[in-house]
Amino acid sequence: MASRKVSRRRFVAGTAAMSTALVAAPFVRGAYAAGKLSLGFWDHWVPNANDATTALVNEWAAKEKVEVTLDFITSPSCRRATPTSWSR
């Protein structure tokens, strides 16, 4: 039985190829690998700002293959913070 010697160069090349394959393996994604994501955004006071936010999030979700559910949270009005109450 003849023994085969592995050169240092061949060993390093093989080790580098194997480690690259093992490191890259978790980042291979299939269809809907990311799953579902639920987000809550502060309801914006600027007209059509929520529509712009929805469009941006949906564009990102399509690119990343993620199913996104958005919820816009409206804050209660605070009477102490309104400019009309400052003069009182």
Q: Measure Cα distances from 85 to 74, 80, 82 in Å.
A: 21, 6, 6
What is the rounded average pLDDT of the residues 68-87? 69
Kindly state whether residue 2 falls inside one of the protein's structural domains.
Answer: no
Block residue for tokens 């936010």: 53
Q: What values do phi and psi take at 18, rounded to 5?
A: -70, -40
Number of domains within the chain: 1
Kindly state whether residue 1 falls inside one of the protein's structural domains.
Answer: no
Indicate the SS3 state at residue 82: coil
Domain span at residue 40 reads 8-86
Which pLDDT belongs to residue 43?
86
Nearest to 38 by CA among 72, 74, 70: 70
Which pLDDT belongs to residue 58?
95
Indicate the pTM of the whole model: 0.50
pLDDT band with cut points at 50, 70 and 90 for residue 76: confident
Q: Tens digits of per-residue pLDDT, 16-43?
A: 777 776 666 555 555 555 688 899 988 8
Kindly state whether residue 65 falls inside one of the protein's structural domains.
Answer: yes
Kindly state whether residue 12 falls inside one of the protein's structural domains.
Answer: yes
Kindly state whether residue 72 falls inside one of the protein's structural domains.
Answer: yes
Kindly state whether residue 71 falls inside one of the protein's structural domains.
Answer: yes
Q: Are the CB atoms for 30 and 64 separated by under 8 Å?
A: no
Kindly state whether residue 3 falls inside one of the protein's structural domains.
Answer: no
Kindly state whether residue 32 falls inside one of the protein's structural domains.
Answer: yes
